[in-house]
Structure 1
Amino acid sequence: MLVVRPAGPADFDALMELAVLSGRGFTSLPEDEPTLRARLALSEASFQAGVAPPEAWYTLMLEDLEASDVIGVAGVKAGVGLKRPHFSFRVVTLAQSSPTLEKRFDHRALVLVNECAGWSEVGSLFLRPERRKGGAGRLLAQSRYMLIGLEPQRFAEMVLAELRGWFDEDGGCPFWDHVASKFFRLEFDEADMMSASTDGQFILDLAPRHPIYAELLPKEARDVLGRVHREGEAARAMLESEGFRYEGLIDIFDAGPTVAARRDDIKTVRDARRLRVKIGEDAFGEEALVSTGAVAGFRAVRAPVLIDGENAILGREAAQALGAHEGDMVRVKA
């Protein structure tokens, strides 16, 4: 059985392996030991309510219990842009007209903004390539919303997700090569690592302050504005099924799209029910997403559940994976 559980310091080797597998442009999984160790320590403190709620960063591991093997990772940041700006480019339309010529022109432009300060963020979703089947990705993705729904007050009213932008088959990033690198004068991997492992002051210092007209950019850069990486299409589809939408914000490094939703309108947050556990000898009922009833000790599985009034009847295997006992409260999303 697959279970989603909190990450902690003991997961370093597994997290580093996933970071290596994730490849270029996956900013939230840098191949940097101090950064990953600090993230795991922060995750442990976050689940134990050892940090202020807006500063929490919950990291979740997807584990195959039979193999005792970690096969995926995901995360939820309670608040972004609190200690440093959370910069994006907004793709805007600038209108210009000439009464003399009797002509009007609409120009796309990129404007540096810090609109998402204080929002929560779901991200870091990555699975081993050979395990991207059988609903594993969906379980991992939805577990983030089950976590948010347990104690919504820990999270912001708006939730965002940043999707990796487009990279060529040879690993080149058209937007970085033609646009962003002109401002930062770094190799992409160096800037990506600095973004993940420093306080981001270099972004504040060097990011462009004036609008960038898209028409002045090479076609290769224009064509990838808001375009998702080939490996991110499934993640985008899952986000959209939950109610997330793209509304014109893109990443300042790779031009990947930012999608967002109101916390209470996210489908899994809104529709999951709080029920009391009853344990049956065997698994029966319709398969559903089930999580524990509190942030501390959070776990989530997909398993058969029979809903009987205000009770959720679980098989023993699912109850054991959740660490749930008769009479405990769980949240269920059919």
Structure 2
Amino acid sequence: MLVVRQAGPADIDALMELAYLSGRGFTSLPEDRGVLSERLLLSQASFAGDVLPRQAWFVLMLENTETGQVDGLAAVKGGVGIQRPHFSFRVVTMEQYSSATETRFDHKALVLVNECGDCSEVGTLFLRPGKRQSGAGSLLARSRYLLIGTERDRFCDTVMAELRGWFDDADNSPFWDGIASKFYRLPFEDADRMITSTDGQFIRDLAPRHPIYLELVNADARDVIGAVHRHGVTAKRMLEKEGFRHSGLVDIFDGGPTMTAPRDSIRTLARARMLPWRVGDVEDAELALLSTTAIQGFRATRAPARIGADHVLVSSATLALLGFNDGALVQVSA
């Protein structure tokens, strides 16, 4: 069976393997053992409640309990833009009118902004190739919302998600090549690495301070603004199903879209309930998303369950997978 569980320092080898598999442009999963080790320590402290809510970074692992293999990961940040600004480009329309010629032009432009300081973030959704079927991706993605649902007040009223931008068949980013690289003048890999391994001062120093008129940008770069990487199409659809919508913001390096949703309107959260569990026959029951009800020791799975008005019926195997050994509530979402 598949279970989503909290990550800790012992997961570093599995996390490094997934980082290598994730490919170019997966900014939140760098191939850097030192950075990832620090992140796992932060995750451990976050689950233990030793970190301020807005500084928490929860890493979740999708584990196959039959093989012990970690097949994917996801993450939730309590807040963004806490220790440094979270820069994005906003796509805006700039109107220009000449009374002398009675001519009006609407220009599309990119404007550097820092607008995400009041958001929590779901991200780093990655599944091992060949493991993206049978609902594994949905379980992993939706478990992030159930984590938020355990203690909603620890998270912001708005939740954001950044999707990896478009890369061509040669694994190059037209947005980086045609726009961003003109300002940073670094190889993409170096800039990508510096996002997670430095304080981001280079962004403040080098980012454009004036609007970038898109008429002046080559078509290859212009056409991929807000486009999603081919491996991120399914993730985008899952976000849309949960109620996320385009915010008008794009990533400053690869042009990938930022999507947002009100926390309590997220479909999985809106349908989630805390109910007492009972053990019973669920052989023909519908599958449901189930989780523990606290951040510390968080676990989630998808299993047959009968959801009633005042309780949920589950199997003893499901309870064991979630780590229950006595009477307690379970969080459930259809």
Normalised to the residue count of structure 2, the TM-score between the two structures is 0.98
Structure 2: how far apart are the matches of 1:76 and 1:31? 19
The 5 A counterparts of 1:65-84 are 65-84=65-84
Alignment of 1:179-258 (within 5 A): 179-258=179-258
Letter in 1 for 2:205: D
State the 1:73 CA deviation.
0.3
Q: Which residue of 2 aligns with 1:172?
A: 172
Alpha-carbon distance in 1 for matches of 2:254, 2:93: 20
Aligned partner of 2:49 in structure 1 is 49
The 1-side partners of 2:27 and 2:115 are apart by 20
State the shift of 1:2 in Å: 0.2
CA contact under 8 A between 1:110 and 1:212: conserved in structure 2? yes
Q: Is the 8 A contact 1:2 1:64 kept in 2?
A: yes
2:97 matched to which residue of 1? 97
Is residue 143–residue 300 contact of structure 1 (8 Å, CA) maintained in 2? yes
Query: How many Å apart are 1:281 and its aligned residue?
Result: 5.8
The 5 A counterparts of 1:110-149 are: 110-149=110-149
1:260 aligned partner: 260
Counterpart CA distance in 1 for 2:106 and 2:286 is 52
Tell me how far 1:167 sits from its aligned partner: 0.6
Secondary structure of the residue that 1:74 maps to in structure 2? Answer: strand
- What residue number does 2:88 align with? 88
* Structure 2 SS opposite 1:131: coil
* CA displacement at 1:117 relative to structure 2: 1.1
Contact 1:26 1:164 in 2 (8 A): yes
CA distance in 2, matches of 1:156, 1:288: 26
Aligned with 1:21: secondary structure? helix
1:232 alignment partner AA: G
1:299 alignment partner AA: R
Q: Secondary structure, in 3 states, of the residue corresponding to 1:319?
A: helix
Which residue identity does 1:102 align to in structure 2? E
Alpha-carbon distance in 1 for matches of 2:38, 2:136 = 26
Structure 1 residue 279 displacement after superposition: 1.6
CA pair 237-282 structure 1, distance change in 2 beyond 3 A: closer
Deviations 1:208-265 (A, max 9, x none): 1110001100001100100000110000000000000002100000000000011111
Displacement of 1:282 in angstroms is: 5.7
What's the offset of the Cα at 1:313? 1.1
State the one-letter code of the partner of 1:297: G
Match for 1:215: what amino acid?
A: E
How far apart are residue 178 of structure 1 and its match?
Answer: 1.2
Instruction: Report if the CA contact (8 A) 2:282-2:313 is conserved.
Output: no
**How far apart, in 2, do the equivalents of 1:98 and 1:281 lie?**
75
One-letter identity of the residue aligned with 2:195 = S
Aligned to 2:39: 39
CA distance in 1, matches of 2:309, 2:282: 19
Q: Which runs of 5+ in 2 are unaligned?
A: none
Q: Which amino acid aligns with 1:75?
A: A
Which aligned pairs between 1:57-68 and structure 2 lie closer than 5 A?
Answer: 57-68=57-68
Choose 153-162 or 99-108, whichever is displaced more.
99-108
8 Å CA contact retained: 1:25, 1:192: yes
The residue aligned with 1:28 is 28
Shift of 1:81: 0.2
TM-score, L = length of structure 1:
0.98
Q: CA deviation at 1:280?
A: 2.4
Asked whether the 8 Å contact 2:282–2:304 carries over to 1, the reply is no
SS of the counterpart of 1:153? helix
Q: Write out the 4+ residue segments of structure 1 that deviate beyond 4 Å after TM superposition.
A: 281-284
C-alpha RMSD of the superposition: 1.0
SS in 1 for 2:160: strand
Distance in 2 between residues matched to 1:117 and 1:126, nearest whole Å: 25
Structure 1 segments unaligned to the other structure (5+ residues): none
Give, in angstroms, the shift of residue 174 of structure 1: 0.6
CA distance in 2, matches of 1:21, 1:92: 35
Aligned residues: 334
Deviations 1:152-183 (A, max 9, x none): 11101111000000111001111111111111
Provide the secondary structure at the position in 2 that maps to 1:76.
strand
Aligned to 2:329: 329
Secondary structure of the 1:50 match is coil
What are the Cα deviations for residues 99-146 of structure 1, in whole angstroms up to 9, with x where unaligned?
A: 222221100000000000131000000001110000000000000000
Q: Which stretch of the first structure deviates more once superposed, 177-186 or 321-330?
A: 321-330
Q: Classify the secondary structure of the residue corresponding to 1:332.
A: strand
Alignment pair present for 1:292 and 2:292? yes
Q: 1:283 to 1:45 in 2, by over 3 A?
A: farther
